[in-house]
Homo-oligomer: A and B are copies of this chain.
Amino acid sequence: MKKKTRVNIYDVAEEAGFSISTVSRALNDDARISAKTKVKVKAAARRLGFQKNAIATSLSTNQSKVIGVLVSELNRGFLSSLVHTLEDTAFAMGYSVIICQTNNSHEREKTYMDTLIASRIAGIIATLSLETDSYEHFEKAKEQGIKVVLVDRVSPKIKSTTKIVIDDYQTAFEGTQHIIGQGYDKIAYVSGPTKQLLYADRLRGFEQALKVAGLPLNPEWIEYSDDLSYEEGTRIAKKILSRKDKPNAIFTANNLAAISTIAYARQIGIRVPEDLGVIGFSEEPFSAFMQPSVTSIRQPSTEMGKLAVQKLVEEINADPGESYIHQKIILDTELIPRESTNRLCKR
């Protein structure tokens, strides 16, 4: 009927003079097979250049050693660093990683989910797309027995799922306190889309810190962006800094926006940090190298990536009989004070 393609266990069985079951067991180091036989079988396999077909194994055992990673875009600092760690940790645990960029599109996230389900992967590690506001596709995956771990961008609407996050509210609160502590008192905020929980939390933290400090919360000083790109940052900085009543500090919900804000401010002759303090979420590799260097908030991408894989594999290997208890793990962040908010000390 169909032509066989490469060397398979039947060939090895013939070469070694055993049955295919013995060959299969020998190659998988089954305890029941004698050492001698194993040696013979493995020698035969080597002689023929046998490479076991993982597809067939997967079909037969109904499990795979592949993890799907859903992520918006790879070419941003935090995410590329996260995926770097994810892949590295997965490799160490014997898993491969399929990368699925959603480009922040809900549609594409769903399409990819179907592909991943069809591929019968072992589990999914996902950072929600910015656009995503319904979650049936995640339920679908879980119904099919695919384990899911959510990282960074999560939603309380997705139940029974391990989540690995930072405390966005608290972090924004403390970041704001840092600015206030540096003597800035008219503080603007550049937010991402608040339908994403983490942006809503950050905004709340910011507002709360102002309230606690008794500082004004000027609605004109709060702006929203869908993607917080460099260009968007510039556009919004322009808008904010052209108001009659200008702020003397800007807190941005990511670091790219902070950098473009600084660049724009300097361009129009506003001194940073003297006239304008700037702080941004998400440490980027270049935050420290800028002039002035940029005060930012480090998210522990390495720890998040490691934990995500470990928790996922833990759940994959969990006894199906026992009920697995899902955790929401909150990791520490670190405020890294740099020149861009350093109004107190002379540089």
Determine the chain B residues whose CB is within 8 A of the CB of A292 once the complex forms. 291
A98–B101 touching, CB < 8 Å: no
- Cβ of A34 under 8 Å from chain B: no
Q: A289-312, CB under 8 A of B: which get 1 and which 0?
A: 111100000000000000000000
B81–A75 touching, CB < 8 Å: yes
A289–B259 touching, CB < 8 Å: yes
A98–B96 touching, CB < 8 Å: yes
Min CB distance A137 to B, Å, is: 12
Given the interface pairs A51-B117, A96-B115, A284-B286, the reply to whether A73 lies near B62 with Cβ below 8 Å is: no
Determine the chain B residues whose CB is within 8 A of the CB of A60 once the complex forms. 2
Q: Which of B5, B91, B103 contacts A101 (CB 8 A)?
A: B91
Q: Give CA–CA (A91, B290) in the complex, Å.
A: 35
Q: A99-116, CB under 8 A of B: which get 1 and which 0?
A: 111010000100010110
Q: A52-85, CB under 8 A of B: which get 1 and which 0?
A: 1111101110101010000001110000110110
Of the listed residues A51, A55, A81, A97, the one surrounded by the most CB atoms of chain B closer than 10 A to its CB is A55
Min CB distance A305 to B, Å, is: 11
Given the interface pairs A88-B103, A289-B263, the reply to whether A119 lies near B54 with Cβ below 8 Å is: yes
Chain A residues numbered 105-137 whose CB sits less than 8 Å from any CB in chain B? 108, 112, 114-115, 117-120
Determine the chain B residues whose CB is within 8 A of the CB of A118 once the complex forms. 51-54
B51–A114 touching, CB < 8 Å: yes
Determine the chain B residues whose CB is within 8 A of the CB of A81 once the complex forms. 75
A99–B97 touching, CB < 8 Å: yes
Q: Give CA–CA (A284, B77) in the complex, Å.
A: 11
B120–A54 touching, CB < 8 Å: yes
- Cβ of A168 under 8 Å from chain B: no
A55–B59 touching, CB < 8 Å: yes
Closest-by-CB residue of B relative to A66 is B98
Determine the chain B residues whose CB is within 8 A of the CB of A291 once the complex forms. 290-292
Determine the chain B residues whose CB is within 8 A of the CB of A259 once the complex forms. 286, 289
- Cβ of A6 under 8 Å from chain B: yes
Closest-by-CB residue of B relative to A260 is B289
Determine the chain B residues whose CB is within 8 A of the CB of A320 once the complex forms. none
B88–A84 touching, CB < 8 Å: no
Q: Which of B59, B64, B101, B289 contacts A84 (CB 8 A)?
A: B101
30 interchain pairs, CB-CB under 8 A: A5-B145, A6-B144, A6-B145, A51-B117, A52-B118, A53-B59, A53-B120, A54-B115, A54-B119, A54-B120, A55-B55, A55-B120, A56-B59, A59-B59, A74-B74, A74-B80, A75-B80, A84-B101, A87-B99, A91-B100, A91-B108, A91-B112, A96-B119, A97-B99, A99-B99, A259-B289, A284-B286, A289-B290, A291-B291, A291-B292
